[in-house]
A and B are shown apart, each in its own frame.
Chain A
Amino acid sequence: MKKPILLRTIFADNLVVVIFLVITAAAVPVSGLPLLSIAQEIVTRIGRNAFLVFSLILPIMAGMGINFGMVLGAMAGQIGLIFAVDWNIVGVPGLIFASMIGVPIAALLGWMAGEVLNRARGREMVTGFILAFLMDGVYQFVVLYLMGFIIPLHSITIKLSRGYGVRNTLNLDAVRQTLDRLIPLKIGGLTFPIANYLVMAVLCIFIVWFRKTKLGQDMRAVGQNQVVSHAAGIPVERTRILAIVISTIFACIGQIIFLQNMGNMATYNAHKQTGFFAAAAILVGGASIAKATIPNVFVGVVLLHLMYIVVPRAGTNLFGSAMIGEFFRDAFSYGVIALALVLHAWRKRANADSARSGLRGGAAGNRTEPPATIAAADAGAGK
């Protein structure tokens, strides 16, 4: 009874990945892009996007689903960058400076988000989603009206001509790609942003270590059963909040890394799709809203971005219109998220049934012969 379900689960897990592989594999030749340039793109985009995706792992571990509220972190990161650019702090130090401004803000926002999500048990995801919209309004208010008005801005070059508020597009010359270029490495025509990878490696080590800590353990416990955890004396609410706080902080740093690679920042839009891309990536990577691993992140980023690179071109070559390809990849990414969520729900039900299957079928119930394992234990009791 258990086994087939297990197999089906494994299939379901990879279903998303498989679909994705098939589509992209088909699209690569059609797109007619040289493999080398595709590879180069992927290499860069891993360095650029993976960090953001990592920020989703902990909340999933804590059973809060995908933290669409990570966008709050992205906003904090952007505020950090605004100040770094405003004071023209150059190079990697500029990035660090931006993070040091951003992280406390992110922590604060994360705490608030955690409080909100604790009040919305069972619908964390949609709440986080709307919360991102709400805070976008606040962000706009701060950056567009308060900056240069109450919050002092130093440089006129980033101000709107009316004297307050930040420009639509911020050019990040001071820090552009400084991290990517910090430790350059060229292998056969591919340039690797080693520094980014190092940062990421540190992050991975942190996550692995964190899983080993008491807090990490508590998060797993809370994620699986809040009632039992509470009965055991684990501060459930606080643990959940911490998960969100950490996630938000990661998102903040992630956004900074992302933007330094982009080289300029759409002040009022850059953060809007962050949550969506991260969620799509981690789900494409085979994660569910209950379980996510480090490999999921990398697989996801590679697959998602491979598709984002090749499909539009393929669309152009097939239908003579890039739009089709672009819409297709969007429709597909959205669809994948929905699919992953549905699969998860379906799987949860299947497991619940299998768990109780022993109690069904009446007369052939579990009262008859004892399991072998117990027999062994019996011997243990004997001596």
Chain B
Amino acid sequence: MLKRLPGRPLFFHKGSAMVKSQPLLCLDGISKDFYGTVVLKDVSFTLEKGQILGLVGENGAGKTTLMRILFGMPVIAETGGYGGRVMIDGETVGFSNPFDALDAGIGMVHQEFSLIPGFTTTENIMLNREIKHPGIMVELFGERLSVLERATMRTRTEKAVQRLGVRIDPDMLVSEMPVGHKQFTEIAREIDRENVRLLVLDEPTAVLTETEADILLAALKKLAADGISIIFISHRLHEVLQICDKIVTLRDGTVVKDVPAAGHTVRDVASWMVGRDMGAARAVQRRTLEAKEAFRVDHLWVDMPGETVKDVSFSVRDGEIFGIGGLAGQGKLGIPNGIMGLFPSGGHALLHGKELPMGDPKSVLDAGMAFVSEDRRGVGLLLDESLDWNIAFTAMQVKGQFLKPVLGGLFRLRDEKAMRELAEDYIGKLEIKCTSCKQPAKELSGGNQQKLCLSKAFALTPKLLFVSEPTRGIDVGAKKLVLDTLRHYNRDFGTTIVMVSSELEELRSICDRIAIVDEGRIAGILEPDADLADFGLLMSGQGGSR
């Protein structure tokens, strides 16, 4: 399943032949595409023993995919393997599943905790690697009836935690731990493996307090000193610069910079991350909008798992397209979801000066707002139902449309005919490709499903429209059409639009102003034609919030 790129010299031949020791890890011309869409192009870099490598890049730059390849996630093989070679100690390896990677001494700490709440630190660190004491039952009924040696496990744990240079009670339940302890427990679990040589940490500091983060960084340096190599993925560039020996910057699936960390500033790295040749990204020409305020948000907090919003305030002008950007997991998605009442939220939101109740979707919709969710299949659509259902449903429930009275208005029934007409109207307008408006939504392509979601929103003729990740996972043609449609509704019907997207270029191409969200707060609001490095800075935890 390893596609070897023909005629490529080995990496360290290409690099100066005076490589003293074999590099621990060497990625050589890694490339990967998912059904044609290229996500990694010829990625090559090396990692020496005991080095800390900072891997930075926007969402979709390919960090995740790269780590998946390194870790032998099955999804890679299922999608046709990858090109190039992964070498450990000069040996080409091809892991078919994460357990192989573990055996080869690669440990991964994922962003979300994989801990068992009701278990103690020890039990979690030793999970499925418990130290067993065989007995007659083992002989008769198999390994799993061996008794655990808790005492030994406990000492092992203490040793592992000690290595991190922190103190965690080995008998503390994870469910009662502060978030920092959980993170350390995860790391401890990885380094407890005898043979662990390479540790991959994906945004380890994202959930930590400042102090906790500092402790963690110290711990990582300690590990590196012990000779464990580390790949450190973080959007907090100052942290990256603080501990990394070298920084690899990915953009659009290629390595744009592979340099030693020393002597670079956050600003440099930020600009490498987001920087594109200005030709590609032509920002919209500024418009002069009357300053009338359409919508304002004060001290909004939203408890949306993975996209927590801590304290966000902004104001949107009438007829404006307001962009909200930022890296994944920073809370930008939480904003619309919270305001629309889909997740527990607090604070104030005012539409044309009228206070909107929190956590009550109905009245928010009644007030004239509409929302195109980023979770198309989960929230956006009734996948098993027909297109006209999908388009008309919300309008029916909110506005009581598409109902016809029967028995002299005794009660009202679905007006299938009106629904079909509506559906066909939008199918025409947005060029939705489908067999008929009776086709179940699940059979449409991603792009057309997205158009369907838009139609659903437009059918409400909203005063203010939230669109969340409108172009995620759809092809270029559909992208353009979706954006044009939004622009069209904004320009011609004066619909105020708040657009949330991880694609900076997209925001810059359509929005009048762009707010960047970082760690649950608005890091800053910029004009679309502002310097890219500034966007980068705001995204990298260097924003105004601190």
Contact = CB atoms under 8 A, between A and B. Distances in A.
Direct touching of A and B (C-beta under 8 Å):
yes
Interface of A: 209, 212-215, 217-218, 220-221, 224-225, 227-229, 231-234, 355-356, 358-363, 365-371, 373-381
B299 interface: yes
Contacts of A374: 178, 180-181, 209, 211-212, 215
Contacts of A355: 175
Given A214-B145, A232-B127, A359-B303, A367 B118 contact: no
Nearest to A367: B209
A215 to B, nearest CB: 4
B295 interface: no
B301 A360 contact: yes
Interface in B106-136: 114-119, 123, 127-128, 130, 132
A224 B301 contact: no
A365 B520 contact: yes
Interface stretch (B285-293, B307-315, B349-357): B307-315
A368 B208 CA distance: 11
Interface in B77-105: 98-99
Given A225-B116, A373-B178, A217 B166 contact: no
B385 interface: no
Interface string B142-169: 0111111010000000000000011110
Given A214-B130, A220-B119, A380 B165 contact: yes
Nearest to B180: A374
B178 A221 contact: no
Contacts of B115: 228
Given A233-B99, A366-B209, A213 B144 contact: yes
Interface in B160-193: 165-168, 175, 178-181, 184
A371 B178 CA distance: 7
B166 A234 contact: no
B192 to A, nearest CB: 13
A218 B212 CA distance: 31
A377 B116 contact: no
A218 B167 contact: no
Nearest to B520: A365
B218 interface: yes
A362 B180 CA distance: 19
B30 interface: no
A213 B117 contact: no
B158 to A, nearest CB: 12
A371 to B, nearest CB: 4
Contact of A377 (B215, B300, B308, B309): B215
A358 B308 CA distance: 11
Given A209-B147, A225-B117, A360 B211 contact: no
A215 B301 contact: no
Contacts of B329: none
Contacts of A381: 165-166, 215, 218-219
B506 to A, nearest CB: 28
A367 B207 CA distance: 9
B99 A378 contact: no
Number of contact residues on B: which range applies?
Answer: 35 or more
A12 B503 CA distance: 49
Contacts of B147: 209, 212-214
Contacts of A215: 144-145
A94 to B, nearest CB: 26
A370 B212 contact: yes
A365 B145 contact: no
A233 B148 CA distance: 17
Contacts of B130: 214, 217
A120 B143 CA distance: 28
Contacts of B303: 356, 359-360
A213 B132 CA distance: 8
Contacts of A367: 209-210, 310, 519
B208 to A, nearest CB: 9
Nearest to B344: A360
Contact of B346 (A218, A227, A362, A369): A362
A314 B118 CA distance: 44
A361 B346 contact: yes
B524 interface: no
B347 interface: yes
A362 B310 contact: yes
A221 B122 CA distance: 13
Contacts of B308: 359, 365
Contacts of A371: 178, 180
Nearest to A383: B165
B167 A370 contact: no
A363 B301 contact: yes
A15 B210 CA distance: 43
Contacts of A363: 299, 301, 310-311
Given A228-B116, A362-B311, A377-B167, 10 more contacts: A212-B148, A214-B147, A228-B127, A229-B128, A233-B99, A365-B308, A373-B178, A377-B184, A379-B167, A380-B166
28 contacts: A212-B147, A213-B145, A214-B132, A214-B148, A217-B130, A217-B148, A228-B114, A228-B127, A231-B98, A232-B128, A356-B303, A356-B344, A360-B346, A362-B299, A363-B301, A365-B308, A365-B310, A367-B209, A367-B310, A373-B178, A374-B181, A374-B211, A374-B215, A377-B167, A377-B181, A380-B165, A381-B165, A381-B219
Contact of A373 (B116, B181, B310): B181
A65 to B, nearest CB: 16
Contacts of A370: 180, 209-212
Sort A-B residue pairs by CB-CB distance and give the 5 closest, nearest first.
A362-B301, A370-B211, A215-B144, A377-B166, A380-B167
Contacts of A218: 128, 144
A375 B310 CA distance: 24
A375 B211 contact: yes
A378 B215 contact: yes
A367 B180 CA distance: 12
